[in-house]
Structure 1
Amino acid sequence: MAKRISMIDLFAGCGGMTAGFVAAKGYKPVMAVEWDLHAAATYAANFGESHMRWGDIADVKDRDIPEEVDVIIGGPPCQGFSNLGAKDVNDPRNKLWKEYIRFVRHARPKVFVIENVDRFMKSAEFALLQDEVREGGLLEGYTLSHGHLLAADFGAPQRRKRTIVIGSRIGKIPMPTPTHGQGNPMGLQSWRTVRHAFGNKGLLDKPETTVLPSSKIEVFGQSVPGVFKSEDLHIGRMPTELSLQRYAVIPPGGGRFNLPDNLLPKCWRNKPTGTTDVMGRMRWDEPSLTIRTEFYKPEKGQYLHPQWEEGPDGYRVDRPITHREAALLQTFPDSFLWCGTKIQIAKQIGNAVPPVLAEAIAKHIKPFISAAQ
C-alpha cells in the first residue's frame, strides 16, 4: 500500500482545497488552520475537528507544527508580503504571509501550493516571494512554478481564474495542463456548464423557504448554526416588486444594459459604461462567471438563474441563484456539510477554491511527491 501523503491546509476556510486533495485519494490532512469560527466549523463537520486549529495562525506554536509533512496548501491574503526577511518583520500587514513562511520553514514540506487572486502575479508581494527562494532567502532550496489556472479548464462549470504557485524542494514541478476546453477542443473534454452543475436536482422552481433549518451544534466549545445538508441550502430571498420587474426583462447573457430607462436605478443611469456583468443572467450551456461571496445579490454580478424563455408565456425563473446552486457551481459535492448563518455560508462558498480545481492540482503533484518518498 502506498504511503499516505500528509498535508497541512493554512487559511483553510470551509475546506474547498482540502476537499479536492482528499478526493484525489492518498492525501491525509494532519493539520488545518482557520480563524473564522463558522468556516472552521464547516471544515470540522467534513474532515474532523481534531486536526483543525480554530484561531489566529500566529498562536500556533512551532512545537505544535507537524514536522516533515509532504504538502502545505493554502491562500494567504495578497497584501503584506512586502517586508519579509531582513526588512520590518513586525509590520502587521506582514503577519499572515510571515506565518505561512514559518509553517513552510518548520514543516519542510516537499511541496507547497499557494492559491491567490489572478492579479497576484503582478504584485510586489509575488516578486518578493520569488526573491525568497533565491540563495539566502527564507525559502532557499525551493523552486517555483506559477501561472493562471481557469477553473473551467479543469472541470468546474465556472470561469474562475486564479494564480497558482507550486513550490518544490524535490525538483521543479510544472504547472498542470488543462483537461477541459471551450467548444469541442482537440483531445480535451468540453467545458462543463451551468446545466451540468444543476442537472436534474429540481432547482428550477422557487425555493420553499428563505431560512435555514433551526439547529445548532457545539464545536471548539462554541455553539454555531448547523450542521446543514446540501438540500438545506436551497433557500430563496424576498425580492421587491421592482426587483422582479427588472429580473423579468433580462435574457440569458444579459445584464443591466437590458433594463429600460424606467427600471434603471439612478446610479446605473448615470454610469453608461463598465460593470457589465451586474444584474446579469447566467446561460444554461456555458460556465458561470466567478461565484463571489454575495452571489445572492444580482446587483453584484451575473447571478440570475439561467431559465428564461422569450415571449409573455415563456417559462422564466426570476430569482438569483441559491446557496445550494452556488455551491454546485463551486463543485462542492452534495454530501458536503455546512455550518453558519446564510451570510456566513455564502462567504464560505464564494471564498473557496473549487474542489475540482484543487483535485486536479493534487493529482498533478502526487507522482512527484510519491517518487520522493
Structure 2
Amino acid sequence: MSVDEFILATKDRPMRADVLHLSPPCQYFSPAHTHQSAHDDTNIFALYGCIDLVDKLRPRLFTLEQTFGITHERHRQYLRALIGDFTQHGYSVRWKVVRLCTWGLAQDRKRLIMIAAAPGEKLPPFPQPTHSENGAGGLKPYTTIRKAINSIRLGDNLHDLNNVKYFQPRRPPLNADGLAGTITTGGNEVYYPDGTRDFTVREYACIQGFPKYHRFLGTKTCIRRQIGNAFPSNTVQMLYKHLEEWLLKQDGIRRYQPMADGVMVVDDSDSDDSDDSFRWQTSSGTYSSPEMDEDIMEIDSPQSRPRYVHWRDNCIIDLT
C-alpha cells in the first residue's frame, strides 16, 4: 500500500525496524527528465513521504536510493530539504554517488546512496568497492554483459527469442566484454551486443542484477518497468550484507555458523571495538575501513546538545 495508507492503517500499532530501505520515485530528478510531466508533483511529494515512514518505524538504520540527478544544482534544494528532515529527527546521515559497477553490477549505472543511523547508533561507512576495471587493485574485474547473461538458455523463463524485437538494419555492435549502459523502463539504448535484436526480458533482468531464477508477475510491459525501476538486486545484497555485519558487530553478536564434523566454527577475530582499530569483513571477503572517502558527506547529530549546521561545498558541517 502507499506510505500514507500504511501509516494510517497502523497508527495504533507501535512498530520498530532494524533496517528500512527507501526508493522514492526518481523520474522528476533524473537527468533524462527534460519536459514537465503530469506526475511531477506526485513524485516530488513522495520524496518527503520518506520522513513520515522513518518517524513511524524509527529504524536503527535506513538506506535511500535515488537518481544521482538530485545532486545537480537545479535539484539541490530538494536534497538539502530531505537531509534536513532526517537530521531534525536525530538521524546521522552519510551519502555519496556510487558507480554500481564497483559493487558488481554489469552496467555503468550511477545512483545516489544514503545511509542513516538513529540517535545512539554509530553511522556505518559505505562498503568498499568489490570490482574494478580489469581487476585493478586486487578486486574482481567488472561484471560484463557476457558474464551477466551467459547462463541463460533457450526455454528459460522470460527468454523468448520469438517474441523479441529484431533490428533492420542492424544496430552498431556493443562490446559484450564491457559494461552495459543504464537499464531504464524503456531500455532504448541497451540491446544485444551483436546489434541484431533487443534483449529478452530475462536478459534485461540479469543485467539489472536479478538472479536467473527470479520470477516476475505481470505483463511484459509491467515486468520491464519493474526491472528498470529496481534497485539492482546483486548490489542490494552486497550493501545489506555489509550493514548486517555492522549491526552484528555493534551488538556484540557473532554470526551463527553451522556445525562442521561436530565442531562449532566461530569468528575469533580481534574483538577491539575502538574506532581506531575497528574493522569488519564484508560478504566479499574483503575488509572495509570506517574512514571516509573525500566524496562522502556526513553529519553526526547527538540529541544531547544544540546543533548548529552549516552547508559548504556540498557538505554538512557540524559547528557545535
Amino acid at match of 2:145: V
Partner of residue 246 from structure 1, selected from 169, 172, 187:
169
1:178 maps to 129
Change (3 A) 1:358 1:200: closer
Ranges in structure 2 where 5+ consecutive residues have no aligned partner: 30-40, 252-320
Structure 1 residues 372 and 186, CA, compared in 2 at 3 Å: closer, same or farther? closer
Quick check: 1:75 aligned with 2:23?
A: yes
What is the aligned-residue identity percentage?
28
The letter of the residue matching 2:186 is E
Structure-2 change in CA distance of 1:200 and 1:172 (3 Å): closer
The runs of 5 or more residues in structure 1 that have no matched partner are 1-54, 82-90, 209-229, 253-281, 309-317
Instruction: Give TM-score scaled by structure 2 length.
Output: 0.66
TM-score, with structure 1 as normaliser: 0.57
2:54 pairs with 1:104 = yes
SS in 2 for 1:63: coil
Which structure's relative contact order is higher, taking Cα pairs within 8 Å and 6+ residues apart? 1
- In structure 2, the residue matched to 1:58 is 4
Structure 2 residue 21 is matched with structure 1 residue 143: no
* Alignment deviations for residues 22-60 of structure 1 (CA, whole Å, 9 cap, x no partner): xxxxxxxxxxxxxxxxxxxxxxxxxxxxxxxxx332111
Cα 1:197–1:109, aligned 2, differ >3 Å: closer, same or farther? same
Aligned to 2:160: 234
In structure 2, how many angstroms separate the alpha carbons of the residues matched to 1:103 and 1:202? 42
Aligned residue pairs total 233
Aligned-residue Cα RMSD (Å) equals 2.6
Taking the TM superposition and a 5 Å limit, the aligned residue runs for 1:161-200 are: 161-169=110-118, 170-200=121-151
Measure the CA separation in 1 of the matches of 2:13 and 2:45: 17
> What is the match of residue 288 of structure 1?
180
Mapped partners of 1:339, 1:92: distance in 2: 25
Q: 1:79 to 1:288 in 2, by over 3 A?
A: closer
The verdict on how the C-alpha distance between 1:246 and 1:66 changes in structure 2, with shifts beyond 3 A counting, is farther
Task: State how far apart, in whole Å, the 2-side matches of 1:93 and 1:190 are.
Answer: 36
Q: 2:193 aligns with which of 294, 303, 306?
A: 306
Shift of 1:340: 0.5
Query: CA distance change for structure 1 residues 244 and 172 in 2, over 3 Å: closer, same or farther?
Result: closer
Assess, with a 3 A threshold, how the Cα gap between structure 1 residues 108 and 184 changes in structure 2: closer, same or farther. Answer: same
Task: Look up the match of 2:235.
Answer: 357
Q: How far off its partner does 1:104 sit?
A: 0.8
Find the aligned partners of 1:251 and 1:92 in 2 and give their Cα distance.
38
- The 8 Å contact of residues 236 and 322 in structure 1, kept in 2 or not, is answered as no
* C-alpha distance in structure 2 between counterparts of 1:64 and 1:344, whole Å: 35
- Deviation of residue 294 (structure 1)? 1.4
